[in-house]
Amino acid sequence: MSERILLGDEAVALGAIDAGISAAYAYPGTPSTEIFETIRRHAASASPPIRGLWSTNEKVALEEGVGVSYAGKRALVSMKHVGLNVAADPFMNVALAGAHGGLVLAVADDPSMHSSQNEQDSRFFADFAQVPCLEPADQQECYAFTREAFDLSEKLQVPVLLRLVTRLAHSRARVTLSPPRAQNEARYVADPSTYTLIPSNAKRAYGRLLDKQAALVDYAERHPANALTLRGETCPGILVSGVAWNYLQEALGPRLEQYNVLRIGVYPLPVQKIRQLLDASTEVWLVEEGYPFIERYVSALGLMREPPIKGKLTGHLPRSGELTPDVLRRSFGLPVGESLQIPGLDDVLVGRPPRLCEACPHDDAYIAIKEAIADMGNDVRVMGDIGCYALGYLKPHQAIHSCLCMGASIGMAIGAAHAGMNPALCVIGDSTFTHSGMAPLLDAARENTNIKVFILDNSIVAMTGGQPTMATDEQVVDLVAGLGVPRERIRVVSPVPQKKAENVRIIRDEIARPGLAVIIARRACVTYAKVIKEHRRERKATPA
């Protein structure tokens, strides 16, 4: 037994390693990134070494993980919540095929959208796929539940979703580790029909998944993390899950002892225990981080009011944003603390939003784009994408007019061009391009759509902390050409102040010429200059 100070993310990573994974796959995304980074740090010292290279996107990562499982070994696949949208196709289907070697998806939700475009709740995905979901409440559970998730996955032959939230993923605490377990030997799936989901097989596979449901509910009913404490027939009740339990303890303190309490950490929902809580309580509060997932079930979309349900659907708790101890105190009608008062404070405190770094190549790219379109009227739109360069929406540039999801910039520009937009422009980073920009660019190349695509190639995945990119420099040019963009319409420019006039001229030329053009603004990120050099060395050492 050894003890470490770990982020929730790090505890998941070590839990997976100690559970005997043979491989891990991920695409970086806050707040999940540190799971895979931790595995990478330990990859070489595992025996045999764990394979740990970033994947092109979350769909690929999960499919790679499924392949490991197929071969009988254990794999952890990690991603942020919106990454599971990308991986939804393999996720929904591997639920039917099942897991062979243990297969666990660690998915980190971001309530309050600290670093995300929505606060979707991954418990819905687990429910949708009809696979179990473990929801740790603290860092120790992050470690223990990850280990347990692999056992459960192998025992019931299902993939298991581990749901984290930002405040757990990015919070440190003491974690006690237990002795590691050996990796599995390879043991391929014997029956080829299992993973071959042609309709005749898929019908049987779905039957198998449905047959597992009773065992999954039974597992949840018996699980100690789903703990029911009944104090009396005249007490109000609380049904609480995940990290909300921590805030609830902080907010209510000894008052908690006046409530019947059911804690949920393991899904599918333990229906019997919920029934017992409802029967025993005068009213029931639903306290959960994220969407009102449990509440929708328990209250039948708010239709069921006997005994009264109090939660996010009923307006007793805020519908959006993360919970905090103070949010809960207010919801339960308790006073919040009076802080130090400083006269005049509001007059001298302004917001400090994130911004592009000093000497960032994106600055020069946006300056050139803005200048090139300056005399084209105010109606020019630039579709943006996910990454540091999304900050181009803010002052001083205010250069992009959308940011929807990974890779959407190109598809949206195509659609806008079809709707008559001219010029139709879009910007996308090197890593977002390989993640999910290549497929829409293939569309555009096939049709020679009249759009201009700016690929901002800074040689790194910067926003999430400097992970290696899949392709940079000439590799990006070759990819773009390979998709069918004529070489003479691929322009590589260097976004530096002294080349501004030349860059503006090239952009104007390409906008003036009809058809598809790709302008690659190539300059390495200044903040991760050192890391980029390391990545280049690594690439040379391990040629493709």
Partner 1 sequence: MNYDLVICGVGGQGVLSIAWVIDHAAVEAGFQLKQPEVHGMAQRGGAVSAFVRISDAPIASDLIPDAAASMVLSVEPMESLRYVKMLRPDGWIVTDVTPLKNVATYPDTAKLFDVLFSVPRLIAVDAGALAHKAGTVKAHNVVMLGAAASLLPVPAALIEKHLRALFADKGERIVAANIDAFRMGDAAGRFTAALVAGGAPQGVVARVVPRLVFEPRTVPASVTAAWLERLRAPDANVAAARIFASTETLTLDACLTALSG
How many other CB atoms sit within 10 Å of the CB of residue 253? 12
Instruction: Decide whether 65 or 111 has the Cβ nearer to partner 1.
Output: 111
Could you give phi then psi for residue 225, rounded to 5 degrees?
-75, -20
Total residues contacting partner 1 (rule CB under 8 A)?
52
Task: State yes or no: residue 167 binds partner 1 (CB under 8 A).
Answer: yes
Task: State yes or no: residue 1 binds partner 1 (CB under 8 A).
Answer: no
Between the alpha carbon of residue 208 and those of residues 127, 130, 202, 517, the distances in Å are: 16, 11, 10, 50
Minimum gap (Å) between residue 293 Cβ and partner 1 = 21
Q: In angstroms, rounded to a whole number, what is the distance separating the alpha carbons of residues 441 and 433?
A: 9
Closest by Cα among 94, 77, 101, 106 to 181 = 101
Between the alpha carbon of residue 497 and those of residues 92, 365, 460, 523, 530, the distances in Å are: 48, 9, 21, 12, 22
Instruction: Decide whether 215 or 334 has the Cβ nearer to partner 1.
Output: 334
Write the DSSP assignment of 463-496 as a string of letters.
TTT-BPPS--THHHHHHHHHTT--GGGEEEE---
Q: Which residue, chain included where needed, has tokens 């070494």? A: 49
Task: State yes or no: residue 271 binds partner 1 (CB under 8 A).
Answer: no
Minimum gap (Å) between residue 446 Cβ and partner 1 = 35
Helix residue spans in 223-313 (DSSP H) = 244-252, 271-280, 293-298
Task: State yes or no: residue 172 binds partner 1 (CB under 8 A).
Answer: yes
Minimum gap (Å) between residue 61 Cβ and partner 1 = 19
Minimum gap (Å) between residue 357 Cβ and partner 1 = 6
Task: State yes or no: residue 254 binds partner 1 (CB under 8 A).
Answer: no
Closest by Cα among 161, 155, 53, 51 to 104 = 161
Instruction: Decide whether 179 or 343 has the Cβ nearer to partner 1.
Output: 343
Minimum gap (Å) between residue 273 Cβ and partner 1 = 22
Q: In angstroms, rounded to a whole number, what is the distance separating the alpha carbons of residues 229 and 92?
A: 35
Could you give phi then psi for residue 467, rounded to 5 degrees?
-90, 155
Among 179, 344, 420, 543, the residue binding partner 1 under the rule CB under 8 A is 344
Task: State yes or no: residue 41 binds partner 1 (CB under 8 A).
Answer: no
Among 198, 303, 350, 512, the residue binding partner 1 under the rule CB under 8 A is 350
- Give the binding range for partner 1 (CB under 8 A) out of 259-267, 332-340, 432-440, 451-459: 332-340
Residues 227-246 that bind partner 1 (CB under 8 A): 243, 245-246
Instruction: Decide whether 280 or 390 has the Cβ nearer to partner 1.
Output: 390
Write the DSSP assignment of 36-61 as a string of letters.
HHHHHHHHTTSSSPPB----SSHHHH
Q: What character string, x for contact with partner 1 (CB under 8 A) and - otherwise, covers 434-473?
A: -----------------------------xxx--------
Minimum gap (Å) between residue 342 Cβ and partner 1 = 6
Contact status, residue 390 vs residue 113, Cβ threshold 8 Å: no
Contact status, residue 331 vs residue 247, Cβ threshold 8 Å: no
Instruction: Decide whether 276 or 324 has the Cβ nearer to partner 1.
Output: 324
Task: State yes or no: residue 38 binds partner 1 (CB under 8 A).
Answer: no
* Residue 65 three-state SS: helix
Residues 116-145 that bind partner 1 (CB under 8 A): none
Contact status, residue 30 vs residue 115, Cβ threshold 8 Å: yes
Minimum gap (Å) between residue 251 Cβ and partner 1 = 8
Could you give phi then psi for residue 453, rounded to 5 degrees?
-105, 120
Q: What is the DSSP letter of 223?
A: -
Minimum gap (Å) between residue 179 Cβ and partner 1 = 22
Binding residues for partner 1, rule: CB under 8 A, are 5, 30-31, 33-34, 114-115, 167-168, 170-174, 243, 245-247, 249-251, 324-326, 329, 336-345, 347-357, 388, 391, 395, 463-465
